[in-house]
């Protein structure tokens, strides 16, 4: 769960820096004409929610099978996890963006690669600490 939290924050905090000021501005000078706290909280927290969903799903669907394969092949090193996490983190947003035909959002693939590598690093570190103890 720690690895998922690290990946979620890594992938969600940069966009949150953009949506949080928008949410605060929307609350004090609402676009809809009246202040709506729930809409402002939703706007501010949306990047974290999306990041959590993507990191959790990718960790279960891609990360766990990759972990089991690396363990079976005795190749579970920190660089192996980092490379696998970065590749998965890049490809999952790419597939989603291609599927929804959002050509302007390909910068998110790099954010996904960073998030995937940090998730994998946290996962790898937890196993190294367990091995040492």
Q: What are the tokens at 111?
A: 């954010």
* Residue 33, pLDDT score: 81
Model pLDDT for residues 55-71, shown as the tens digit of each residue: 999 999 999 999 999 99
Name the band, by pLDDT with cuts 50, 70 and 90, for residue 133.
low
Whole-number mean pLDDT of the chain?
93
Model pTM score: 0.89
What does residue 85 show for φ and ψ, rounded to 5 degrees? -65, -40
Of 106, 112, 119, give the one whose Cα is nearest residue 90.
Answer: 112
Domain region containing 7: 2-132
Q: What is the C-alpha to C-alpha distance for residues 54 and 60, in angstroms, rounded to an integer?
A: 10
pLDDT tens digit string along 33-51? 888 889 899 999 999 999 9
Which of the two residues, 88 and 1, has the higher pLDDT score? 88
Do 3 and 56 meet the contact criterion of CB atoms below 8 Å apart?
no
Distance from C-alpha of 69 to C-alpha of 50, rounded to nearest angstrom: 28
Instruction: Tally the domains of the chain.
Output: 1
């Amino acid at each position: 769960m720690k690895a998922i939290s690290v990946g979620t924050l890594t992938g969600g905090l940069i966009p949150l820096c953009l949506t949080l000021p928008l949410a605060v501005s929307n609350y004090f000078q609402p676009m809809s004409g009246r202040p709506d706290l729930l809409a402002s909280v939703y706007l501010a927290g949306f990047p974290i929610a999306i990041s959590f969903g993507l990191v959790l799903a990718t960790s279960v669907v891609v990360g766990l099978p990759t972990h089991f394969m690396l363990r079976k092949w005795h190749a579970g090193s920190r660089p192996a996890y980092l490379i696998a996490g970065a590749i998965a983190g890049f490809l999952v947003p790419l597939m989603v963006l291609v599927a929804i035909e959002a050509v302007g959002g390909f910068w998110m693939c790099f954010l996904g690669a960073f998030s995937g590598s940090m998730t994998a690093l946290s996962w790898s570190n937890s196993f190294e600490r367990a091995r040492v103890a």
